Amino acid sequence: MNDAETNLARSFSDETHSGFEFPELDLSDEWMDDDLVSAVSGMNQSYGYQTSDVAAALFSGSSSSFSHPESQRTNASVAATATASANNQNKKEQKKVKERVAFKTRSEVEVLDDGFKWRKYGKKMVKNSPHPRNYYKCSVDSCPVKKRVERDRDDPSFVITTYEGSHNHSSMN
């Protein structure tokens, strides 16, 4: 882990950021699954924004209801687009009830501190991208949450983080 990132992330929530560029949150089909897909984009900061608020809200409220006051302060812009799953309860939704939440964040490091501890368990090269994709699991005892991190194909300064499942616990302790 990186202490510098952690400290930055922790202290970031106290600052006030206003120069927030919101570069056209495009939900491409690549990561638009048939499940719930939400997207967070933004941060003119290269890294160190506070994702724990976002993550906490998502993990507690299951991605549709996102009215967390903290998230506004952190400039996390959320587009809760349940578009794909709105009229698509054909086949997948009956089998897979796992919620899937995708973030697209501007960052130069892919391991962002969201308040949880992650254990990497895999790395793969993806076909449509020159960048690898990393697979993480929550390292807390019997927590089923998985996380997938990859870089944007044509904008490597963006990182796409996909959470899957919800935590059993409040934090990493």
Partner DNA sequence: CGACTTTGACCCGCGC
Partner DNA sequence: GCGCGGGTCAAAGTCG
Closer residue to DNA in complex, CB, 34/70: 34
Cα–Cα distance between 99 and 103 in angstroms, integer?
Answer: 13
Please state, as a whole number, how many other Cβ atoms lie within 10 Å of the Cβ of residue 85.
18
For residue 104, what are the contacts with CB-CB under 8 A and spacing of at least 6? Answer: 25, 31, 39, 40, 41, 152, 158, 159, 160, 161
Instruction: Using DSSP, state whether 40 is helix, strand or coil.
Output: strand
Closer residue to DNA in complex, CB, 33/53: 33
Q: Does 130 bind DNA (CB under 7 A)?
A: no
Binding window for DNA (CB under 7 A); candidates: 40-48, 50-58, 76-84, 112-120: 112-120
Query: Which position among 47, 118, 158, 163 is part of the footprint of DNA (CB under 7 A)?
Result: 118
Quickly tell me which residue has 């809200």 as its tokens.
57
List beta partners, residue 125: 132
Q: Does 133 bind DNA (CB under 7 A)?
A: yes
For residue 119, what are the contacts with CB-CB under 8 A and spacing of at least 6? Answer: 136, 137, 138, 139
Q: Does 124 bind DNA (CB under 7 A)?
A: yes
- x/- binding map, residues 23-62, to DNA, per CB under 7 A? ----------------------------------------
Closer residue to DNA in complex, CB, 33/74: 33
Positions in 134-173 near DNA (CB under 7 A): 135, 139, 146, 148
Tell me which residues touch DNA (CB under 7 A). 1, 117-124, 126-128, 133, 135, 139, 146, 148
